[in-house]
Amino acid sequence: MIVKSLELINFRNLKKEKVEFLKGINFLYGNNGSGKTSIAEGIYYLSSMRSFRTSKENLLINQESDYFQILAEICNNFEKNKLIITYDSKGKHIFLNGNKISKISELFHLINCLYFIPKDTEFFKGPPKIRRNFINMNISKIDTEYLKLLMNYEKLLKSRSDIFKKEKLDYRLINILTNQMIEISYKIYQKRKKYIEQLNTVLPTVFNKIVGKTYGNIHFKYLSFIDNKLNYKEIAKAKYQESLEEDKIKKITTIGIHKEDYALFIDDNNIGLYGSQGENRLAILSLKLSPYYLIDNNKPIVILDDVLSELDNNNQNNLLNLINEFEQVFITSTTKISNKNINCNYFKLEKGKINFEGGNYE
């Protein structure tokens, strides 16, 4: 899939900019504050209906306006879709090919984006929610049932946790909700387990290509609160019973798939705990690009925001060689790269204006 055209109106520091993109690497460069990351952010918004920089959507609106709008043409195999998203004081308004969309989930599989941004360097050191969101997003993009399971689990979780806030507890209802959560949790566990196994078939190759050498046994590990396929439900029931007193004290559900975590290891060393800053950056970058190889059709769009500045020349070249065959990539940088072996479409941004400078494609 590719984003063929993008128009951003009152989005961040961009008043009204329209640009047509091409297949391959689209290289956006310019000074800090020129708008290059806003372009990347707008592209990602098409995929998730949210920003990778902030959870407050009103911050995406240009300071001189009271709304923002994104218009895009997306090509998916031989299918073209026109998407219009408007956000104002009344909320989000979405139109796909002229038809109003009421549920964001209806758009979830229209476009898929993988991204790396500067703050991802804290991916392994930050809270578990960061890593759960990464896995949940990537599985949901290829498995429609998984997203429904997550949504149903969240509803049950809220209902169960709300019971503990009441003066008199309904233990019968707690038991019913717990059993329903366990049934869904087991399905989610199986899907997460399978996805991590698939991810680990491609992760070492991606990592070694970026590093430029074989660098130990790298693998991503699923730290499930129950890791037992045969007796999952029985163990889960016992664990929920054991945690009941703590749940009552804290007035929440203290265990479950909503608390699970993941970690990345090189040999037996946990990168988040023992890896150097350089190892962390390369490992996170490799992990974030690996899902690209798990999708056969409609390859994801890849966004790399300011990824080159912290890599040495060898790692830069290795990364560029890796993504040179990707269907569509967006790279932002303060400086223009010059590499005759890498095909790029160059876009220069100055003061919120974007100009296509051409490319070095043959």
Rounded to a whole number, what is the distance in angstroms from the first to the last CA of the chain? 22
pLDDT tens-digit series, residues 153-166: 999 999 999 999 99
Rounded Cα distance, 286 and 291, in Å: 9
Query: Is residue 118's pLDDT more than 90?
Result: no
Who wins on pLDDT, 263 or 276?
263
* Mean pLDDT of the residues in the chain: 92
Check if the beta carbon of residue 347 is closer than 8 Å to that of residue 356: yes
pLDDT tens-digit series, residues 63-99: 899 999 999 999 987 789 999 999 999 999 999 999 9
Residue 146: HSE in the Cβ half-sphere, 13 Å Cα cutoff = 20
Res 309: pLDDT: 85
Res 297: pLDDT: 82
Q: Provide mean pLDDT across the span 276-294.
A: 92
Rounded Cα distance, 150 and 140, in Å: 9
Tell me the C-alpha to C-alpha distance, in Å, between residue 37 and each of 52, 97, 102, 304, 357: 10, 27, 28, 10, 18
Res 103: pLDDT: 80
User: Could you give all domains of the chain from N- to C-terminal order, each with its CATH number?
Assistant: 1-112+298-362 (3.40.50.300), 120-294 (1.20.1050.90)
Q: Provide mean pLDDT across the span 47-57.
A: 87
pTM over 0.75, yes/no: yes
pLDDT tens-digit series, residues 194-245: 999 999 999 999 999 999 888 778 999 999 999 998 999 999 999 999 999 9
- SS percent in the chain: helix, strand, coil, step 5: 45, 25, 30
DSSP 13-75: TEEEEEEE--SEEEEEE-STTSSHHHHHHHHHHHHHSS-SS-S-GGGGB-TT-S-EEEEEEEE
Classify residue 227 by its DSSP letter.
-
Rounded Cα distance, 360 and 320, in Å: 14
Res 362: pLDDT: 46
Percent above pLDDT 70 for the chain: 99
Res 20: pLDDT: 94
Rounded Cα distance, 5 and 43, in Å: 10
Rounded Cα distance, 329 and 273, in Å: 31
The angle formed by the CA atoms of residues 196, 182 and 222, to the nearest 5 degrees, is 20
Nearest C-alpha neighbor of 195 from the set 150, 146, 232 = 146
Query: Is residue 360's pLDDT more than 80?
Result: no
pLDDT tens-digit series, residues 302-342: 999 999 988 998 999 999 999 998 999 999 999 888 777 78
Tell me the C-alpha to C-alpha distance, in Å, between residue 199 and each of 193, 196, 291, 319: 10, 5, 7, 19
Query: Is residue 361's pLDDT more than 60?
Result: no
Check if the beta carbon of residue 344 is closer than 8 Å to that of residue 329: no
Check if the beta carbon of residue 300 is closer than 8 Å to that of residue 116: no
Q: Provide mean pLDDT across the span 270-282.
A: 86
